[in-house]
Structure 1
Amino acid sequence: MFRNFLNGLPKSSFANGWTRRGKDVGGRPPTPLPKHARFEEHDFSNTAGSRTYKLYVPGRYDGRALPLVVMLHGCTQSPDDFATGTRMNTLAEERTFLVAYPEQSKMANASKCWNWFNSGDQRRDLGEPSLIAGITRQIMDDFPVDVGMVYIAGLSAGGAMAAIMGIAYPDLYAAVGVHSGLACGAAFDLQSALTAMRYGSVIRRAAEQMVPTIVFHGDHDKTVNPVNADQVIAQAKSARHLRASVSTGKTSDGISFTRTLQSDETGRPMLEQWVVHGAGHAWSGGSAEGSYTEPRGPDASRAMVRFFFQHRL
């Protein structure tokens, strides 16, 4: 099953109530956009290759500098599917920010997984990190963007790549969101990726500059061991001293969760970790119209945006 994570996830991997529905989002009529909103497709190229991406511009955009959230989809997903499942565009309308969805190429990975497990795709200005950073900077050139409020998040392989981007570009992203992902450098090839996904990994690379990080992970995830969430947090924290507080709760649909905040000396949360009890490998609180979502869970998108906007470069 773990090999299938990199080469196309089987439907049988998703059980216990979370949904894989919505994989055909691209074939259905598009959801009507709010008045004046735009969901545009663009391209970016550099020496590492080229990628398309979609950019959501909220209807209330009036030319002023806005925050930007970059969203990295999981394996087999598309920008439209990921936007639908996470409902991040809906939040962009509410809070007035831009959302970018880089799309992995099937030429780069047959299952459209970001290649987080390749050593050549884990460093600043190399491989896929250079493409994602290039897309981010292209949007910052093309639109008025608040340069202190640029963020990145992802699911699964996209979450692992988001962790890499936070380590590689702490001067570009003010905060990072990792959902069901792995730490930067958790693997260096396919075999080590399978091991890390199943058992966790040895953290070989600490963050040189702390980037505020929020993590979501279901404790029944059978694709990426939940211990990886702890390792993302440990990597982001490095040796820094933070004060921790733990709270618990339950959604109206009966999903319990544990939330741990680690704050600096001023009381500002720097690390936030959500363990969603009973959830599997799926975006917590997402829409059933998208793939790989757990609609009953706490709203990961809303929590990430709240956490992001507490931080700026």
Structure 2
Amino acid sequence: MMPGAVSSRERPDVPSRLTAVPDFGPNPGGLRMYKYVPKKPNKSLVVVMHGCTQTAASYDLGAGWSTLADRYGFLLVFPEQTEANNPKTCFNWFREHDATRGQGEAASIRQMIRKMAEDHAVDPKQIFVTGLSAGGAMTAVMLATYPEVFAAGAIVAGLPYKSATGMRQALESMFRVKVREPKEWGDLVRAASPHRGPWPRVSVWHGGADTVVKPKNAEELLKQWTDVHGLSTRPDRTETVDGYPRHVWTDAKGRDVIESYIIPLMAHGAPVAGGDDDTSYGVPGEYLIEVGISSSYHIARFFGLTQTRRTIVNPFAGERPAPRVEAQRVESPRVAPAADAAVPPPRGRAADPPRPRPGVQKFVEDTIKRALDAAGLNKRR
């Protein structure tokens, strides 16, 4: 399927507000481009990347990004992976070619930003990036390889830049976690581009019960970016936001440059919050977990995009939710199993992730088996 074509994975029960951009210039990574332009947009741009098995439209619905754009006026661009590149439509954050400045998927995403800047007069100091799971790991790639492009980024259930340079390493990093000293992590970012600062601000989100991308990956991400910013690994303050701890690192001027949220008992996915108030966004579904805090809203706030509020009607109100994957609420003592990994399953497996059978032990066994099966998979062309 050619980039820009309608995805065969789009489901009729997932409404889309996004516009395809079939021709956006050089596309060495073979990705699709979608955008969302609210009425009377301002000049800020957020790049949003979905997780495995998701589409741009399903992640937009679940995370609430276009609703946020309507309320606060910023532009959105959604890169979308293709099955030709990756059978489970994961961004290939773990492949050297796709995770290097000027090459592959990273270069395609950079070109999408150029296209948006040309078409919508984007402020070059107001460009941001975020993503979930494989999209979160690809967010780390973009922050490292194009740090001069982004004012800030948010990594949800992702991994550090260069935690893997191949499929086997990716699985090891996800399940066992690659541990390095802060300087070693920071040096990998500094070697990824000729840029020498200032560096993007970074927000890190992770589920405390994530069995797909272990929560310790969030610790390694924080080690990487605190070193890049020349900060201690210990946060400067901790506060409570919507019932959850937020750890904050500040620079010499007192600005919040790094933040982290670890959501206890939450499995693999992005936190969403149902409701009608100004801080509630999202629809529970595939890797989109109702826990009473909207990661998208608080990420937009961290980016500095929520100062000017507009009155809107939620365009997704009453829409049928995306397929659920045993979304887990925090108040329950049971830990919900995650449904998919940030890497593809063996070739020939169905496009939708298998639902875990009852019982945590069985789920763990199935997860390990999928990981071992996937270790020998080669990228399809």
TM-score range normalised by the length of the shorter chain: 0.7 to 0.9
Contact conserved, 2:205 with 2:218, CA < 8 A, in 1?
yes
What is the aligned-residue RMSD (CA, Å)?
Answer: 2.0
Show CA shifts across 1:207-251 (max 9, x none). Answer: 3343210011010001000011111111112161356111235x4
Among 36, 39, 54, the alignment partner of 1:56 is: 36
Tell me, yes or no, if the aligned pair for 2:175 and 2:212 is still in contact at 8 Å: yes
| In 1, Cα distance between equivalents of 2:79 and 2:10 | 17
Answer with 1 or 2: which has the greater Rg: 2
Superposition TM-score, scaled by structure 1 size: 0.82
- Which residue is 2:253 aligned to? 266
Quote how far apart the aligned CAs of 1:299 are: 1.1
Shift, 1:122, TM fit: 1.8
Percent of pairs identical after alignment?
30
Alpha-carbon distance in structure 1 between the residues aligned to 2:106 and 2:10 = 27
Task: Say whether 1:247 aligns with 2:234.
Answer: no
**Aligned residue among 104, 111, 127 for 1:127:** 104
Residue in 1 that maps onto 2:334 = none
Matches within 5 A, 1:27-66: 27-28=12-13, 30=15, 39-43=18-22, 44-46=24-26, 48-61=28-41, 65-66=42-43
Deviation at 1:29, TM superposition (A): 6.5
Q: Secondary structure at the residue paired with 1:248?
A: strand
Q: Which of 88, 112, 122 pairs up with 2:89? A: 112
Q: Distance in 2 between matches of 1:300 and 1:174?
A: 18
Q: Distance in 1 between matches of 2:285 and 2:127?
A: 25
For 2:128 and 2:11, locate their aligned partners in 1 and report how far apart those are by CA, in whole Å: 26
Instruction: State the alpha-carbon separation in 1 of the partners of residues 47 and 297 from structure 2.
Output: 15
Shift of 1:291: 2.1
Counterpart secondary structure, 1:91? helix
- 1:291 and 2:280 correspond: no
Work out whether residues 49 and 80 of structure 2, in 8 Å CA contact, stay in contact via their aligned partners in 1.
Answer: yes
Q: 1:25, 1:290 within 8 Å by CA — same for their partners in 2?
A: no
Q: Is the 8 A contact 2:14 2:58 kept in 1?
A: no
Greater strand content: 1
Greater RCO (CA < 8 Å, at least 6 residues apart): 1
SS of residue matched to 1:215: strand
Note the C-alpha offset of 1:84.
0.4
Contact 1:217 1:275 in 2 (8 A): yes
Q: Deviations over 1:52-89 (max 9, x none)?
A: 2211111233xxx5100000100010010010011011
Determine helix, strand or coil for the equivalent of 1:26.
coil
1:257 positional shift = 2.3
Identify which range, 286-295 or 211-220, moves more after superposition.
Answer: 286-295
Residue number among 207, 211, 227 corresponding to 1:222 in the alignment: 211
Is contact 2:185-2:223 (8 Å) kept? no
How many angstroms apart in 1 are the aligned matches of 2:300 and 2:27? 32
Take 2:202 and 2:258, find their aligned partners in 1: how far apart are those partners?
5
SS of structure 2 residue aligned to 1:99:
strand
What SS does the aligned partner of 1:305 have?
A: helix
- Rounded Cα–Cα distance in structure 1 between residues aligned with 2:263 and 2:175: 18
Instruction: Report how many aligned residue pairs link the two structures.
Output: 273
Kindly state the Cα deviation for residue 120 of structure 1 after the two structures are TM-superposed. 1.8
Structure 2 gap segments, 5+ residues each = 1-8, 191-196, 274-281, 306-381
TM-score, L = length of structure 2 = 0.68
Measure, in 2, the Cα distance between the counterparts of 1:29 and 1:301. Answer: 19
1: CA distance, partners of 2:119 / 2:285: 29
CA distance in 2, matches of 1:29, 1:173: 30
The SS at the match of 2:125 is strand
Tell me by how many angstroms 1:147 deviates.
1.2
